[in-house]
Structure 1
């Protein structure tokens, strides 16, 4: 059974964590597969958005127990290599310049919160629980920390330090979740968000996402980034089409 399943419908790639018997927990194979998937999707020019969800009762329960058992016997060097592979996965996800929407249900523990933090829009079903469970195990949410703190409110620090469980409403207050909905409503809202992205120029969306990431990096040359990008997009075929179609009161070619 593959730990990650990919499907494509109408220019949207759907990533599904697929270890339901293990609560979609991370192991080395899943980390490798997700890294591969994110890197390949970044090369696609025909896609408009990507969704991320989990098969079974929960979104993702964090680290696989057998994987964790193997870490106990690892040397420092082996643990470092293992952690670097996990970081590479989150980094590949963050580099993805397509809109990324997560549909979260059941539970999102440990590393799952890193996946969520790297998404552009997160819909959580009612009753979903969240937890930075690492400190309860005597370790740290170290690898995901920079990704989480790049999105969440500073108030998330309490939960990273205490390992306390919190609900979807608290996750929304912490800016880890954008919207809370019932099961049926969540799937309906997912389609609505996808439609919103499809209404926009695909190049403009990619460039804007890239811009937002660059601005967030300390020391970025903001003036050059912003002025050069708008000049580039205004003179691009897509930008010209967008401006002309607006003035001519017609739909631009990218409206699907």
Structure 2
């Protein structure tokens, strides 16, 4: 892969945006590589979580200028297809049952906010700037909007329509960021949260994330059947039996040994 670096360490997959010369800006190649990577991770039962970072001083500055130049001459249909590819990347992240933890710094602009919104936990370094910059270009944060609104408080709508830059602390208030702190604090928190996922039953974590995603799409009348079915299945599963027995016997379950 040319635009991202993918590594695996102790059952954690790490994805690093690797176009630091352009502040890790999106282009069609990066979108394709990220999409295929997240789709492939769905089948990796041996992994427990994903860590997402960006190389250099900025996490991601949004769209690449050369990519934007090419879009100027696109037809309506070509723009639709191009936008659908971007949406599919975010959907691949959102629908991934593995939890995604991000550590961001510097700048998180434009489409990069879609990446952050699709993560389960986000650490932002002090001084990180966020901006829904699209309206300044005469376009809209359309593709990322549903993912952002699902993650954030309604107050985020102001920033989406005004393109006002906001801080890491404001991002925390909006629900976009979980922890804002120094680089060292961010690194420690990033590692701490990834370790938490390693301590929990991997199937239970995946099934819980999937459940939380599905509940928002279901009629409340369906919640009883869906939730009681899941807990019943997990209680009699190998992982559930091992976890409960480990607790009762005052020992670590096999996945922590």
Normalised TM-score (structure 1) = 0.98
Alignment partner of 1:216 is 2:234: no
Please give the root-mean-square deviation of Cα atoms over the aligned residues, in Å.
1.0
Q: In 1, distance between residues paired with 2:191 and 2:163? A: 33
Query: Deviation per CA, 1:140-176, whole angstroms, max 9, x where unpaired?
Result: 0000000000010000000000000000000000000
Does residue 77 (structure 1) correspond to residue 77 (structure 2)? The answer is: yes
Report how far residue 186 of structure 1 moved.
1.0
Runs of 5+ consecutive residues of structure 2 not aligned to the other structure: none
Q: Could you tell me which residue of structure 2 aligns to residue 180 of structure 1?
A: 180
Q: Distance in 2 between matches of 1:219 and 1:28?
A: 37
**Aligned residue for 1:192?**
192
Q: Residue 254 of structure 2 aligns to a residue in which SS?
A: coil
Rounded to whole Å, the distance in 2 between the matches of 1:93 and 1:151 is 13
What does residue range 92-241 of structure 1 map to in structure 2 within 5 Å? 92-219=92-219, 221-241=222-242
- Quote the offset at 1:218 in angstroms: 4.7
Q: Distance in 2 between matches of 1:14 and 1:181?
A: 21
Which consecutive segments of 4 or more residues in structure 1 shift more than 3 A?
Answer: none
Q: State how far apart, in whole Å, the 1-side matches of 2:219 and 2:28 are.
A: 34
Deviation at 1:199, TM superposition (A): 1.1
Q: State the distance in 2 between where 1:90 and 1:134 align.
A: 17
1:121 shift after superposition: 0.4
